[in-house]
Amino acid sequence: MINSQDVDTAKKELGRKLAGWRTTRKLTQLDLARSVPSSRSTIAGVERGAQVVDHTFWARCDALLRAGGELILAYGRFQELERQFQAERAAGAARARWGDIDTWSRQIAQSGYGAVPDPVARSTAAGCAEISGVPNDLPGVAFDDMRRRTLVKWGATAAAVASTGVGRSSVAHAGRVGAHDAERLSKAAVRLYGLDYRHGGDSLWQAATAKVNDGYAMLEQGTYTGTVEGHLLKATGRVQMCAGWLALDAGEHTIARNCFTDALALARQASDREVETATLSYLALQANALARPREASRFASAAENATSTIGGPPRLGAVPQLRKAIASALMADQSGTDTAIRLARRVLDRDGDKPTEQWCTFLSPAELDGIEGTCAVELGRTTQAQTLLERAIAGYDDRYARNRALYRVRLARARLTAGAPDGAADAANEALDDLAEEVASWRVNAELEAVAHQLAAYPEIPAVAGFLARYPSVAGPQ
């Protein structure tokens, strides 16, 4: 069992590593803060082990201090330790609240979900219910506001959920498999994407892996024709790709990478260039999120090559360009960014009014504004960034609450850079509104945490004080 002292010790060791590399490079805390960018008090707090910051901070410090990946790896080890601690604590709290686990598990089994060996798996059961269309009102368990909130929060306890075995295939003997089975699997991916746009990946990725395992069970244990095999390979590849995306949005990067690797293998077995293109684009997105823009650019180029050989669903050709745009901005390549955005807009102008696959429906003028605004933030074009991000936010309704929350956080960052902490607090507070309505996304939370740390330098501003008072209960570190 991991205890809080273990986490505190690991946090302090991580801080000592940062201080060691900073000293080696003969930089003061203020020097490093100006380069990250951050505040001197944040650097000091991290080095004391008193403050937690996100992956972006560590990636930038590693690059600035030429630590060769040591700081990123150390942060990854700390994050895994903390995740396990939170998972164990959540499991204990769940057992205390729900009492007789065997009785609860039998109730779930009777409702058609199959045996559930641990209450931490409740989020997976609920997620599978929404995907399959089964009602969420489980026997003896009221689906109240607390349970909805729990679904979101427990989605982050990935280690505990994975250890329970929930998500393994419910198809013990697949028997005869037909085209309708593959179609049901494809529809599950469609439903998952729709839920993701509204809620984020934290509360959904385990349910996606359960559907993936159903696909593999049918492939390995079922009886089917050659035509059905092709449909089943494509459907399983689509769900596997979706599971990877949801895990990425939940911050489960190793799981996401494994899902993407398997999705590529399935796509190539099925000669499905659409899934191959989309999966390579997701890998580029992940690389950008992990501050590896050169890798992202390579994946985006591979995706562009794949999509150039197919007709593909409308809008799909814009996705590699958007990944290239972000990668170029992270490398301070203004010309590369502008070219990629221009090409993406050209695709959307051509295909924007055509029906498309579910994973492409997010591609709208609002999304392109959001991506271009994000690039402008990275390139220091704060006025342009604010205009674009405000336009992106206005273009999203509640069906895309996760994307809206993400761009509200980035707008807050742009306003901070422009020297407007009160406006930044307003945008950050609006992001909290989305999070309070059951958006659970590692990407949103990680970026909002960085903004919160910066806003902490302005506690005398009423809007900032209001945000800081609200932040811990809605989105702060658990």
Any alpha helices (H) in 99-175, and if so which ranges?
101-110, 122-132, 145-154, 158-164
In contact, 38 and 44? CB cutoff 8 Å:
no
pLDDT of residue 15: 93
pLDDT of residue 336: 96
Q: What is the distance between the alpha carbons of residues 73 and 274, in angstroms, rounded to a whole number?
A: 33
pLDDT of residue 439: 81
What 3-state class would DSSP assign to 440?
coil
pLDDT of residue 88: 66
- Bridge partner residues of 176 (DSSP): 223
Q: What is the distance between the alpha carbons of residues 319 and 303, in angstroms, rounded to a whole number?
A: 9
pLDDT of residue 474: 81
Give CA angle at 26 (24, 28), nearest 5°: 120
Give CA angle at 319 (313, 325), nearest 5°: 160
- Whether residue 37 has a cis bond before it, omega within 30° of 0: yes
CATH class of 4-99: mainly alpha
In contact, 398 and 198? CB cutoff 8 Å:
yes
Element (H, E) at 191: helix 179-199
What 3-state class would DSSP assign to 223?
strand
Q: Which residues touch 251 (CB under 8 Å, ≥6 apart)?
A: 156, 202, 442, 443, 446
In contact, 332 and 375? CB cutoff 8 Å:
no
Residue 298 exposure: Cα atoms within 13 Å on the Cβ side:
4
271: region left, alpha or beta (phi > 0 left; psi from -120 to 50 alpha): left
- Bridge partner residues of 223 (DSSP): 176
Closest C-alpha to 401, from 250, 214, 201: 201
Q: What are phi and psi of 475, to 5 degrees?
A: -140, 5
In contact, 417 and 382? CB cutoff 8 Å:
yes
Query: Running along the chain, 478 residues long, what does each successive block of 10 average in pLDDT?
Result: 83 92 92 82 87 79 87 84 69 46 42 36 39 34 32 35 35 71 88 82 80 86 90 92 90 88 91 90 92 93 82 80 95 96 92 70 88 95 96 91 93 95 96 85 89 93 94 72
Q: What is the distance between the alpha carbons of residues 118 and 121, in angstroms, rounded to a whole number?
A: 6
pLDDT of residue 206: 80
Residue spans per domain, the chain = 4-99, 109-271
For residue 44 the two structure tokens come to: 């000091």
Rounded alpha-carbon distances, angstroms, from residue 10 to 83, 121, 176, 287? 13, 28, 52, 26
In contact, 276 and 304? CB cutoff 8 Å:
no
pLDDT of residue 359: 67
For residue 28 the two structure tokens come to: 């003061």
What 3-state class would DSSP assign to 74?
helix
Closest C-alpha to 373, from 421, 432, 330, 414: 414
For residue 296 the two structure tokens come to: 């992202």
DSSP string for residues in 351-370: HTTS---GGGTT-SHHHHHH
Q: What is the distance between the alpha carbons of residues 67 and 149, in angstroms, rounded to a whole number?
A: 40
Predicted structure pTM score: 0.65
